[in-house]
Amino acid sequence: MTFQLPTPAALEVRPVPQRIAFMAAPTEGARHEYDRLAERYGNVPPGEAEVIVCLGGDGFMLETLRVVLEMELDTPVYGMNCGSVGFLMNPMAEDALPEKLATTQAAELYPLRMRAQTKSGEVFHALALNDVFLFRQTRQAAKLRVEVNGMVRMPELICDGALVSTPAGSTAYNLSAHGPIVPLSGNLLPLTPICPFRPRRWRGALLPSTAYVRFSILEDEKRPVAAVADSLEIRDVVTVEVQEDRTRHVTVLFDPGQTLSERITAEQFSA
């Protein structure tokens, strides 16, 4: 019996974009590339662009994607790495940029929605494309109660903190905290403790993407906790609720053969 491997699907070819918006991180290298590319290809506001080109690192890419979400744009974002790691970015290449953009491959990312309430009663809402995490504010360990879909799954977790990650963010802080890497198509959300003390050997859980997670901070006066949604930090929280928001998404573009799914898979085989 012989087996025939499937051939790769043909690359989607989109129209060559004529209107590109460039956005650059506030670094010398990114600003230099911004000036060169804007002069060569022109520059339009994000709301008028067919493609947004983000110049910077992963942090600035997340800021750019958050702007796209807040403006409720359907415009895809293509990152060019002017930073360090650049997991969400493509290599810097100035020549034939519009033609290159027409052959990129797209990945749709769904954000987490965080609702955090503080000791004073203030309520904050935020979106996160990487993760939502809780972390102790003082030398005292945090004490958290963890509920999933209204059921108390862990009455008391003593730890430095805990996080819920998107699949795209599972290779970031989640991986550093020894959480699992999740493929984009997995429809799963990692729930990962950060330096757990009790239960000492608990390594977290993989939840369905429809899960609703609620953290309650125990002994909040003695053990204050902050909540962070990507780059937004809220101090002195008492409850934090996290759920994937399937009503919103952003589209990120990658060079052929370098899709986010491929990068996530490759990361699982790296040393």
Please say if 58 is a catalytic residue: yes
Residue with tokens 């902050």: 226
Which CATH class for the 112-244 domain?
Answer: mainly beta
Question: CATH 3.40.50.10330 spans which residues of the chain?
Answer: 20-109+249-267
Using DSSP's 3-state secondary structure scheme, residue 15 falls into coil
Could you read off the pLDDT of 123-150 as tens digits, one per residue?
Answer: 999 999 999 999 999 999 999 999 999 9
CATH number, domain 20-109+249-267: 3.40.50.10330
The answer to whether 160 is a known ligand-binding residue is yes
Q: Residues of the chain whose pLDDT is less than 70?
A: 1-13, 271
The answer to whether 259 is a known ligand-binding residue is no
Q: What is the pLDDT of residue 15?
A: 86
Q: What is the pLDDT of residue 110?
A: 94
Three-state SS sequence of 80-115: EECCCCCCCCECCCCCCHHHHHHCCEEEEECCEEEE
Q: What is the pLDDT of residue 4?
A: 43
The answer to whether 131 is a known ligand-binding residue is yes
Among 203, 172, 169, residue whose Cα is nearest residue 189: 169
Between β-strands 142-148 and 151-159, what pairing exists: parallel, antiparallel or unpaired? antiparallel
The answer to whether 35 is a known ligand-binding residue is no
Question: CATH 2.60.200.30 spans which residues of the chain?
Answer: 112-244
The answer to whether 149 is a known ligand-binding residue is no
- Among the options 35, 58, 95, 230, which is catalytic? 58
Q: What is the pLDDT of residue 13?
A: 64
**C-alpha dihedral, 69 to 79 to 182 to 143, nearest 10°:** -60
Q: What is the pLDDT of residue 23?
A: 96
Are 240 and 128 spatial neighbours (Cβ–Cβ below 8 Å)? no
For residues 160 and 180, what is the distance between their CA atoms, to the nearest angstrom?
A: 18
**C-alpha dihedral, 229 to 236 to 189 to 159, nearest 10°:** 130
> Of all helices (H) and strands (E), which one includes residue 79?
strand 77-81
